[in-house]
Amino acid sequence: MALYRYLPVPSDRMGTLWTLSCIKDAFIIEFGPSGTTHFAMEGMMQLNGDHNANIYTTHINETDISFGNEERLEKAIIEIDQDHHPQYIFVMASSISAIIGTDIKSICFKMQPQAKAKLIPITTGGYNGDYTVGVENTMLTLCKHVVKKEGVKKSKSYNIIGNTIDAYNFLSDVEEIKTLMKEVFQYHIHTTFTAYTSMDEIENALSGAFNLVLRTEGIKGAKYLKDNGDMPFYYGKPYGLEGTMAFIKGIEKQFQLQINETYIQNKMNQINKYLMHYKFVTRELDNKKVALIGDFDIVIGLAGLMEELGLEVDQLLIKHKKNKHTPEELLIRYKDRIHFNQSEKQISMYLEKTPLYLLLSDGSTLKLHNKSEKTLQIANPNFIKHNIYPYTPFVGFNGVLYMIQNLIELEKSIV
Amino acid sequence: MSKTSALAKVSTLNEVKKNEDITSLSHAIFPGTHCPLFGVAMIASFIEDLVVLVAGTQECTYYVKNFVHNRQKGKDNFYSVITDKHDITFGAENKLREVIKEIDETLNPKGIMVVTTCVLELIGEDVEGLGRVLEEEVNAKILVVPTEHFKCNSHIPGMERSLEKLIGLMEKNRVEEKTVNILGHRQVGIEDTELMQVLAKAGITINSVLPSKCTIEKLKNVSKGALNIVTDFIALPLAKQMKDHFNTPYVYFGKPLSLERIKEKYKAIETILNIGILKQLQDKEEELNRLVIETKERLKDKTFIYGNTPMMAFEVASYLCELGLKPELIQVRELYDNDDLFMEEIKSHRYNPYITKIANIAPMEKVYDELKPNLYIGHENPMNLMKRNIVQITLDDVTKKIGYEVPIYALKKILLSYRQQDEMKKKMMAMSKGGVRHGVV
């Protein structure tokens, strides 16, 4: 159903803009009504991400539409090129220019000889899928058109693909992964696609030893770099104790790295104590049902942690379409309980009829009427959360601790 | 005035005769104006029981919902219907019909405002016609507001249209003497304004406030008001409609700054309502006169760039000229009625400032360095101004005010901002000479 009381699933164009907007020195020109761009920039504030890129609009009027006049865009490209001397300019369609059939690729081709910057066309007008498609295609675009074909390898360094501002806890999660990689393998971050990075860092991504792909939407870009830059990658995100160990073991095995066993043992001892504590606190609950609603990677990741904590995963409702690169083995465990592309109405009907102990979901879903005893926000869209402190991860060892802390507090709270 | 490189293609006041003479500083615009959908959000979200259905892309519906939800602290009635590729090719009529009926049946609202965004307007979907047909089939009144941004350059048409459409929810009533409607007020706390306080003392009561204290039930009774006081020009189309439909007289009491113009507005209200109110305001007049003298003394010959305020650009600029300040550049949305009057007033001071389009602050950094103004009136990144020692003055709170309190607030804010910058400068100079001792006054 197309009716939404709260926020609809964002479009591919929104995902594209979110992925690019946090890159320092990225220049983006949108060919469309200025309100579209203005709204987008203000709307990004709910993501709790900085938009570091330089985003411009051309505005567009009736005459431009009637006569297919693209002069505004051409002049804006030349102006940005001459005034700012960027290395790259992303030239983006809007919903309007996409409908009237503005050929962004041809404009870039035609204008390229007049511009020093490399013009990168982004043709999506928001009709080709949900935001995950935009995130995926944009990371691929960066890998294809910005990453230099060769790089001098920096020892003990890696890239992250898929830490983008639309992921609810991106700021803290990436810090924990950096800590994990440093403490366990003595590896250091080289380039992050895309929060927060610069065009220069993306250009030089092949200097890293390998890519860690944190969300399924990053697999396409990582495969491109594997095939065209001989750069291996590992896909996974370390949620829960078991998930974190699987992540560490996976990286160890794939890249033949040495593990710091002492660090891991200390962390496991610390966490096992609180895992037991939480199980003890919740031992007498009659209803231990949990539903997880949001983006695929966080939902499937935290579902594992919920089971480790002795809770019963009832449903996993993903608010976007399934990615064709998603490894099938991830889905087997929850094959009857995981549902993709859930609309607000479908989610609403489920929540209204299902008494849950715990609902882990995005901020928009939390507004819907539900029969859950406890709720916790784990995903965007977001109405109220202000995430600026970067040390509250959901991933890694510290992520397990932080989640247990949240859940103990919820258990103690009186609704 | 010689044209500098950043301003080479921009008109000066003497060259501006029509909207097309006002150009942007650059072809690449940042951040650009808001669209009419934003304007609808600023108006319709105040009307408690009005259901607003925004029909458009995920982008338009997502961001507008986010805006109104935060602005109204979650108490908004904005719904979205997403138009996709299929709708663009085959039309959205069936989808809209289905959704409007669903809202009518499940929520049973008295009114549904259907807001069509760029895409539906571009494909020529006749939502207005659909609204008329559906009114026969549903219980709710249907108000259709188009918000295509490619036909205008700001959010203003959205505000005007959403207010104007409210006439569809009004009914004819017997006029109640000594009552007024306030049209266009977009803030809570109308009772605290100077205008309402003096009217109350003169025995006048408020019949209704549109949109900030408004429900569909109350809208039925708006025509009981003996006078419409229009506090923002966005409500002028509604006031004219009400004059035609209900013969309700109106006074446009925008945000004038000059004492004479404010007095003129108060006199018009006195005449229509047959009351005396100006005598209550002598203290305010004196306070304003004192502030004018102080401002003239403190800010004589200071230069300014006008960025954006909730008032009219040329009117504010003209008033500041009257106080002895010199305009270097004025950023405007477009030309409005009466702007020619204020433009002539600025010219009468022998000033010929640059005139550019609003909402394009990216290229302004070069302009600051070239024009070196003392003051910037409006929103900007404070650091951009601070490092150039330009005093920034924002006047947003002025939207809460009506009457002499408008210039009183504005002048106090200007003097305060100027004084604060002065104090900060002194502190920074003291720091550079070895710092200031803590605790020493």
Q: Which of A28, A95, A362, A368 to mutate to test the interface with B (most CBs of B within 10 A)?
A: A95
Q: Please report the pLDDT score of residue B434 as a whole number.
A: 61
Residues A363-378 have a mean pLDDT of 97
Q: Please report the pLDDT score of residue B251 as a whole number.
A: 98
List, in sequence order, every beta strand (DSSP E) within B212-325: 227-230, 250-252, 303-306
B332: part of which helix (H) or strand (E)?
Answer: strand B326-332
Q: Which residue has the tokens 């995963």?
A: A313
Residue B190 CB coordination number (10 Å): 17
Q: Please report the pLDDT score of residue B423 as a whole number.
A: 84
Average pLDDT over chain B, rounded to whole? 94
Phi-psi sector, B335: left (phi>0), alpha (psi -120 to 50), beta: beta
Q: What is the pLDDT of residues A164-180, one digit of tens each?
A: 999 999 999 999 999 99
User: Would you tell me which residues 332-371 of chain B have a C-beta closer than 8 angstroms to some C-beta of chain A?
Assistant: 359, 362-363
Nearest-angstrom CA–CA distance, B183 and B246: 15
Percentage with pLDDT > 90 across chain B: 91
User: Does residue A222 register a pLDDT over 90?
Assistant: yes
Residues of A18-36 as b/e, b for ≥16 C-beta within 10 angstroms?
bbbbbbebbbbbbbbbbbb
Which CATH architecture is the domain A157-258 placed in? 3-Layer(aba) Sandwich (3.40)
Q: Give how far Cα B342 sits from Cα of A34, B303, B319, B399, B411, Å.
A: 28, 18, 9, 20, 19
Fold agreement (A157-258, A262-413): yes
User: Does residue B435 register a pLDDT over 60?
Assistant: no
Domains and CATH numbers, chain B: 19-29+281-428 (3.40.50.1980), 36-152 (3.40.50.1980), 171-280 (3.40.50.1980)
Cis peptide upstream of residue B31 (ω within 30 degrees of 0): yes
Q: What is the pLDDT of residues A313-340, one digit of tens each?
A: 999 999 999 999 999 999 999 999 999 9
Assess contact for A362 and A380: CB atoms under 8 A: yes
Which of 3.40.640.10, 3.40.50.1980, 2.102.10.10, 3.40.50.1360 is the CATH number of A262-413?
Answer: 3.40.50.1980
Which residues of chain A neighbour B5 with C-beta distances below 8 Å? none
Residues B330-353 have a mean pLDDT of 96
Q: Name the band, by pLDDT with cuts 50, 70 and 90, for residue A145.
A: very high
Q: Please report the pLDDT score of residue B441 as a whole number.
A: 34
Q: Name the band, by pLDDT with cuts 50, 70 and 90, for residue B439.
A: very low
Q: What is the pLDDT of residues A21-37, one digit of tens each?
A: 999 999 999 999 999 99
Provide ipTM, 2 decimals. Answer: 0.96
CB-based contact B58 A54, cutoff 8 Å: no
Question: What are the two backbone dihedrals, phi and then psi, of residue B158, each rounded to the nearest 5 degrees?
Answer: -65, -40
Q: What is the pLDDT of residues B182-195, one digit of tens each?
A: 999 998 899 999 99
Q: What is the pLDDT of residues B250-276, one digit of tens each?
A: 999 999 999 999 999 999 999 999 999
Q: Is B88 on the interface with A (CB under 8 A)?
A: yes
How many angstroms away from the CA of B122 is the closest CA of chain A?
8
Q: Is A191 on the interface with B (CB under 8 A)?
A: no
DSSP state of A130: B
Q: Name the band, by pLDDT with cuts 50, 70 and 90, for residue A346.
A: very high
The class level of CATH for A12-129 reads: alpha beta
CB-based contact B30 A127, cutoff 8 Å: no
Residues B211-219 have a mean pLDDT of 94
Residue B18 CB coordination number (10 Å): 8
Percentage with pLDDT > 90 across chain A: 97
Indicate the domain borders of chain A: 12-129, 157-258, 262-413
Chain A residue nearest residue B88, CA to CA? A99
User: Does residue B1 register a pLDDT over 50?
Assistant: no
Closest CA to A119 of A130, A132, A110, A131: A110
Q: Please report the pLDDT score of residue B430 as a whole number.
A: 76
Q: Please report the pLDDT score of residue B76 as a whole number.
A: 95
What lies within 8 Å, CB to CB, of B236 at 6+ separation is: B160, B184, B230, B252
User: Does residue B2 register a pLDDT over 80?
Assistant: no
CB-based contact B35 A3, cutoff 8 Å: no
**Count of alpha carbons within 13 angstroms of residue A172, beta-carbon side:** 21
Closest CA to B238 of B224, B226, B253, B250: B250
Nearest-angstrom CA–CA distance, B69 and B64: 8
- Three-class DSSP category at B223: helix
Cis peptide upstream of residue A194 (ω within 30 degrees of 0): yes
3-state secondary structure string across B259-276: HHHHHHHHHHHHHHHCCC
Q: Please report the pLDDT score of residue B432 as a whole number.
A: 66
Q: Name the band, by pLDDT with cuts 50, 70 and 90, for residue B440.
A: very low
